Amino acid sequence: MTERPTLSTSDTRVAAIDCGTNSIRLLVADVGPDGTLVEVDRRLRIVRLGQGVDRTGELAPEALARTLEASRDYAEVIAETGASRVRFVATSATRDARNRQEFADGVRAAVGVEPEVVSGREEAELSFRGATAGVAAQHDGPYLVVDLGGGSTELVLGTTTPDAALSLDVGSVRLTERHLHSDPPTPAEIEAARADVRAALDRAAQTVPFGRTSTLVGLAGSVTSVTAHALALPEYRREAVHGAVLGVDRVLAACDDLLHRSRAERLALGFMHPGRADVIGAGALVWAEVVARVRDDVAAAGGALRDVVTSESDILDGIALSLA
Contacts of 259 (CB under 8 A, 6+ apart): 184, 185, 190, 281, 284, 285, 288
**Rounded to an integer, what distance in angstroms lies between the CA atom of residue 232 and that of residue 307?**
17
In a domain, 5, yes or no: no
- Cα–Cα distance between 208 and 124 in angstroms, integer? 12
Q: Same domain, yes or no, for 154 and 108?
A: no
Q: Are residues 165 and 197 in the same domain?
A: yes
The verdict on 76 and 173 lying in the same domain is no
Where is the domain boundary, 117, 152, 170?
Answer: 117
Give the Cβ contact number of residue 314 at 10 Å: 30
Give, as one character, the DSSP assignment of residue 6.
P
Bridge partners of residue 286, in order along the sequence: none
Instruction: Quote the CA–CA distance of 91 and 116 in Å, as a whole number.
Output: 8
Q: Does any domain span residue 203?
A: yes
- End position of a domain, from candidates 117, 146, 174: 117
Domain end residue (candidates: 65, 95, 117): 117
Residue 79 lies inside a defined structural domain of this protein = yes
Q: What is the CATH number of the domain that holds 146?
A: 3.30.420.150
Q: Give start and end residues of each alpha helix (H) in 162-262.
A: 172-178, 187-205, 220-230, 238-241, 248-260
Please list the ranges in the chain whose pLDDT falls under 70: 1-10, 92
DSSP 8-state class, residue 233: -
The partner residues of 155 in beta bridges, in order of sequence, read 146, 166
Name the domain count of the chain. 2
Q: Are residues 273 and 310 in the same domain?
A: yes
276 with 177, same domain?
A: yes
Same domain? For 75 and 157 the reply is: no
Query: What does the pLDDT read at residue 1?
Result: 46
Based on the fold, state whether residues 107 and 186 are members of the same structural domain. no
| Cα dist from 312 to 130, 180, 182, 211, 247, whole Å | 9, 27, 31, 24, 18
Contacts of 177 (CB under 8 A, 6+ apart): 52, 54, 55
Rg over alpha carbons for the chain, rounded to the nearest Å, is: 19
Q: What is the pLDDT at residue 10? A: 55
What confidence tens digit (pLDDT) does each residue in 182-209 have? 999 999 999 999 999 999 999 999 999 9
Same-domain status, 292 and 211: yes
Query: Do residues 263 and 137 share a domain?
Result: yes
Residue 122 in any domain: the answer is no
**pTM of the predicted model, to two decimals?**
0.79
**What is the spatial distance between Cα 309 and Cα 232, in angstroms, rounded to a whole number?**
16
Interatomic CA distance for residues 320 and 130, integer angstroms? 9
Q: Which domain holds residue 297?
A: 130-316
User: Is 277 contained in some domain?
Assistant: yes
Statement to judge: residues 148 and 96 lie in one domain = no
For position 88, which CATH number holds?
A: 3.30.420.40
